[in-house]
């Protein structure tokens, strides 16, 4: 089976105001050769305050970089102070939305049910969810990693039509490797990403499993991206800190 087109996504988290975001985006676009987009999809996920500026920049400069968001609420509108509607993101030409990032789960106590509602809302507005899953160090050491990831993926896909499952992105991000400088070995990352794909097969069938793109996230760097991308079930990367630097991120994209 041929591998799917890789997706390399930069999650800027709570970094870069809109002026910094414009500068970083321009540098990144300059450093990525046009040929790169023939073999890989590239997305950036800035803070909400940067989205309009980057949407305009992408349109005016005819960039091939995909605009993404880090989070959304599951309702289109309502009394949810501080939240952002998926309908609003769609109006900004956002194509990809992260759902259930480990920091949202750990720091803001998002449950599997909440993440599933977001996945359904993102699909409703014809955007693509990046559904995140992953285990803590304690869970890994207790041999609970497989069950944790299977449960998160199964819950996240609840109610999603098989045809929609196939166009999702699922990011496996070991929580113990995010921002710590530690990373799973390529073999360990592959083993967990295969569990993700096997779980998708159980939920949505063989076609869904063949179509879904599975990213690895967790201290991805220029030094380890090639080895990770050689694994059969790894179709891209969800990059955190390294995506803040256009030189580093471009080196990852052009691995």
Give the contacts of 189 (CB within 8 A, at least 6 positions apart).
Answer: 172, 183, 216, 218, 228, 231, 234
The pLDDT assigned to 31 comes to: 97
The pLDDT assigned to 73 comes to: 98
pLDDT tens digits, one per residue of 112-136: 999 999 999 999 999 999 999 999 9
The pLDDT assigned to 218 comes to: 87
Show the tokens assigned to 61: 């400069």
Q: Residues 83-95: what's their mean pLDDT?
A: 98
As a whole number, the mean pLDDT across the chain is 95
In this prediction, what percent of the chain has a pLDDT beyond 90?
Answer: 91
Q: For residues 177 and 194, give the distance between their C-alpha atoms in angstroms, rounded to a whole number.
A: 18
The pLDDT assigned to 162 comes to: 85
Q: Residues 240-247: what's their mean pLDDT?
A: 97
Just list the catalytic residues: 101, 173
Global confidence as pTM: 0.96
Domain 53-253 belongs to what architecture? Alpha-Beta Barrel (3.20)
To 10 degrees, what angle do helices 18-31 and 246-253 make? Answer: 40
CA 166 vs CA 15, 95, 115, 149, 163: distances in Å: 31, 16, 18, 18, 6
Strands 213-216 and 96-99 turn out to be unpaired
The pLDDT assigned to 179 comes to: 67
pLDDT over 90 at 37, yes or no:
yes
pLDDT tens digits, one per residue of 3-33: 799 999 999 999 999 999 999 999 999 999 9
The pLDDT assigned to 176 comes to: 81
Confidence band (pLDDT; 50, 70, 90) for 184? confident
Domain spans, the chain: 53-253
**Burial group, residue 2, by CB count within 10 angstroms (0-12, 13-18, 19+):** exposed
pLDDT over 70 at 1, yes or no:
no
Q: For residues 193 and 189, give the distance between their C-alpha atoms in angstroms, rounded to a whole number.
A: 6
């Amino acid at each position: 089976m041929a591998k799917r087109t890789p997706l390399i996504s930069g999650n800027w988290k709570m970094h870069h105001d809109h002026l910094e975001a414009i500068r970083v985006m321009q540098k990144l676009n300059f450093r990525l050769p046009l040929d790169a987009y023939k073999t890989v999809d590239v997305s950036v996920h800035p803070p909400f305050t940067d989205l309009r500026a980057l949407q305009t920049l992408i349109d005016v400069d005819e960039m091939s970089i995909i605009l993404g968001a880090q989070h959304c609420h599951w309702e289109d509108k309502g009394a949810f102070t501080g939240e952002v509607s998926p309908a609003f993101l769609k109006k900004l030409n956002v194509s990809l939305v992260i759902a259930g990032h480990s920091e949202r789960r750990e720091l803001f106590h998002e449950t599997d049910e909440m993440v599933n509602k977001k996945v359904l809302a993102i699909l409703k507005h014809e955007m693509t969810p990046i559904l995140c899953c992953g285990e803590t160090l304690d869970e890994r050491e207790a041999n609970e990693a497989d069950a944790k990831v299977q449960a998160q993926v199964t819950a996240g896909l609840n109610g999603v039509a098989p045809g929609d499952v196939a166009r999702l992105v699922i990011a496996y991000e070991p929580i113990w490797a995010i921002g710590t400088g530690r990373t799973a070995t390529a073999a360990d990352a592959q083993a967990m990403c295969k569990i993700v794909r096997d779980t998708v097969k159980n939920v949505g069938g063989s076609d869904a499993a063949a179509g879904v793109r599975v990213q690895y996230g967790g201290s991805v760097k220029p030094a380890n991206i090639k080895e990770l991308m050689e694994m059969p079930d790894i179709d891209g990367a969800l990059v955190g800190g390294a995506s803040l630097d256009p030189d580093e991120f471009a080196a990852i994209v052009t691995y």
